[in-house]
Structure 1
Amino acid sequence: MTGLPRYGSGMLPLGLSMLWESVEPEAALKERFGFDDFAAVCGWVTKALDATWAITVTACPRMVISDQNAIFWAQSDRGDLVVKWSRARQRFSSLDASTRLLRSLAGRGIPVAAPLATSDGLDRVVLDGPSGELSVTVLPELSGEWLDVTDRAAVLSAGAALAELHRALGADTRTSAAEPVQGAAELARTIDDWLTNGDHRLAPEASRRLRGLLSEAPELDDVPQLVHNDFRAANILTRNSKVVGVLDLDEARVEHRVHDLAKASVYLGTRFTAWRPTSDAVRQALRVGYESVRPFSTAEARWFEILVVWQGLRAIPGEHDPAGWASAV
């Protein structure tokens, strides 16, 4: 995550909190990162930014923990900043790649937070934390409000922004994905295997429809490329119904663009612990916005329907489904 809405981080408490997990943040801070309390984190960040970025921290308003990662807000002589770090060593290489990608996208005019370089010109560095190495980057805080999916103009803008993002990502030849590229034939086999072995039949009519659509799927005339892979309300900032920030490229991967849009259509309204399905009207608006910049081919339109149904089925949490994911497919 490259930042959260300014004081729209007002939706987050001051001090230390968890982004989505139901655990005590103080215990998670100590167990995962080795800091005794929030004051200790503020001291560590203040010293790290001074020594490595030549940035003077003046205040530490808040921090959130998400799994093995942390996001820390700092006020400084360089403005309001977001300091991100991870202790997941297996992800250090991909985090380096996603941070470089942010700088590339910013250079192409995409509204992302370009990293602030260290005094040595690096966008991300590994620093010693109290209980191990941390991969750290510093970003300017973006100002805006999380996407409101009841605002049709904002949803149209989000669709257009995703298409522009795909265009920019397609021009970037680097990849942060370790997995092999999955073509249309492999994708069809993956869905068929899921229907056979992974589908819990919680929306049987939708499952039957998906199998029928898949049996008539055309060749997909699209080359897989880097996509966002987590484009939803929690990662989209707006102002006056226009997208002004796209957050969290850390999950970027190589995939078909229509698959990325289908996934976004299903999960667009989700934020942290608030997971609710996206209405048909909102999905349609997102697609209209997307196609205002990049129209679908005939094959992509067919695959979009397939992938929306598949992602919708996969989103059903189980028989206990108070949000109504099954009925939304």
Structure 2
Amino acid sequence: MPSHCGWPPRDRQPRLLRQDSLGDDWRAVAAIHYGVSGAHCEFRDHHSRHYFLRAAGQGCLVLSKVRKDSSRPPFELQFNVLFELRGRGVDSVRPPIRTRGGDCYVIDEDHFWFMRRFNHHEPVQFWACSALAGASARALAKIHLAMDEPGMCTPYFEPDLLAPYHRSARGFVRSLGELFDAFDDAGLEPSDRRLLAVSVEALMDEADLVLGRSDGLYGMTHHDYRPENLLVRNGRIVEIIDWDRAYDDHQLYDVAYGALQFGGRQGLWGSAMLSLAVQFVDDYLDARSRPDLRDDVLGWWLRFVVVKRLLLKSTHTAERINLLRRLSDEPALIG
């Protein structure tokens, strides 16, 4: 298989699977539930464990092993979303391969397993490209637009009972004061403490107005829309992956979170290129025919996603304070 095809993904550094290193659980799942046997396998650990299988006559497959976690949205919800999106004509998502019994996934005592076909793509290490920013914004708008029509059947759950990071935007706002009080700011400079305190207060004060203005863009939200979850081939977004956090919420969360991932390390770092963030926002809102929302509410959402990350992730605080300061000083984004 040619090296440029992205198998296995070079940017995700899979390791060669030794037969004595992991036991035979992946072999049993692949053979019993999917009819895949005799596969060559490599794997990588990235939040979950992913086995890259190459089986004669069956092409390249990815078998994922995910630890059960009651603090996250129901595991099966992501598959409802994927099948619904595919049925509504979105070609940038791929539902899982069904098991021999017709199920979307397999359950063992501690894990879920599911299989999908590998989509050949090009590793993109550094997203500082205007074309990719625009393409990813339009791909996100297409997904959100496809889910505008009612009729999707999803399992009921209460998102505000999840761990704070996975709560809805409105649920997280209700937790802001408590989370800020519990935040360890001992390592921050006095000016950084003031910036964070002022930002939290402003987010809470403006929340009802902004969330009310954002209600027109409410629906299925990915909640982790960033370059690592976008597969690119020939400059085009060919697949959007990792839907395990998806559920109905304010879709401008996806826009703000995605906009700040370009030009540097992913994860809301101070190195984000704000010029690309502006383009991402503009291209998305143009595709949704809602340019009126940029000046009114996008500044709030951009500060919201950074403050959320700050309060819940204990590492790299200085980098994210820097990004929050840059946002506060950037009228083109704050509005």
Q: TM-score, normalised by structure 2?
A: 0.73
* Paired positions, count: 300
Partner of 1:156: 134
Tell me if 1:266 matches 2:260: yes
How far has the Cα of 1:253 moved from its partner?
Answer: 2.7
When structure 1 is superposed on structure 2, of 315-324 and 224-233 the one drifting more is 315-324
**C-alpha separation between the residues in 2 aligned to 1:215 and 1:53?**
52
Partner of 1:27: none
Tell me if 1:82 matches 2:62: yes
Q: 1:101 to 1:74 in 2, by over 3 A?
A: same
Partner of 1:51: 32
SS at match of 2:120: coil
Partner of 1:72: 51
Write the letter of the residue equivalent to 2:319: D
**C-alpha separation between the residues in 2 aligned to 1:113 and 1:43?**
27
Write the letter of the residue equivalent to 1:141: F
How far has the Cα of 1:87 moved from its partner?
Answer: 2.8
How far has the Cα of 1:310 moved from its partner?
Answer: 2.5
Tell me if 1:105 matches 2:85: yes
**C-alpha separation between the residues in 2 aligned to 1:50 and 1:327?**
53
Q: 1:271 to 1:85 in 2, by over 3 A?
A: farther
Q: 1:136 to 1:195 in 2, by over 3 A?
A: closer
**Amino-acid identity (%):** 16
Cα deviation code 1:56-100 (max 9, x no counterpart): 34310x212244x31111112321111012232637982222123
**Residues 145 and 237, structure 1, Cα contact 8 Å, conserved in 2:** yes
How far has the Cα of 1:158 moved from its partner?
Answer: 0.3
Aligned match of 2:223 in 216, 229, 234?
229
**C-alpha separation between the residues in 1 aligned to 2:174 and 2:253?**
15
Cα deviation code 1:161-210 (max 9, x no counterpart): 11111123344634465315999876765557666775956274576467
Q: 1:273 to 1:159 in 2, by over 3 A?
A: closer
Q: 1:270 to 1:70 in 2, by over 3 A?
A: farther
Partner of 2:286: 292
**Residues 84 and 137, structure 1, Cα contact 8 Å, conserved in 2:** yes
**Residues 268 and 323, structure 2, Cα contact 8 Å, conserved in 1:** no
Write the letter of the residue equivalent to 1:95: F
Partner of 1:238: 232
In structure 2, list runs of 5 or more residues that go unmatched: 162-166, 186-190, 328-335
Partner of 2:98: 117
**Residues 52 and 62, structure 2, Cα contact 8 Å, conserved in 1:** yes
**Residues 232 and 269, structure 1, Cα contact 8 Å, conserved in 2:** no
Partner of 1:29: none
Tell me if 1:134 matches 2:116: no
Aligned match of 1:251 in 218, 239, 245?
245
Cα deviation code 1:255-308 (max 9, x no counterpart): 111122112223456767995642211101211221232133635642211110
**C-alpha separation between the residues in 2 aligned to 1:231 and 1:83?**
22
Q: 1:231 to 1:197 in 2, by over 3 A?
A: same
Q: TM-score, normalised by structure 1?
A: 0.75
SS at match of 1:116: coil
Aligned match of 1:173 in 149, 152, 159?
152
**C-alpha separation between the residues in 2 aligned to 1:111 and 1:254?**
19
How far has the Cα of 1:252 moved from its partner?
Answer: 0.9
Tell me if 1:220 matches 2:218: no
**C-alpha separation between the residues in 2 aligned to 1:259 and 1:326?**
16
Partner of 2:188: none
**C-alpha separation between the residues in 1 aligned to 2:203 and 2:308?**
16
When structure 1 is superposed on structure 2, of 201-210 and 273-282 the one drifting more is 201-210
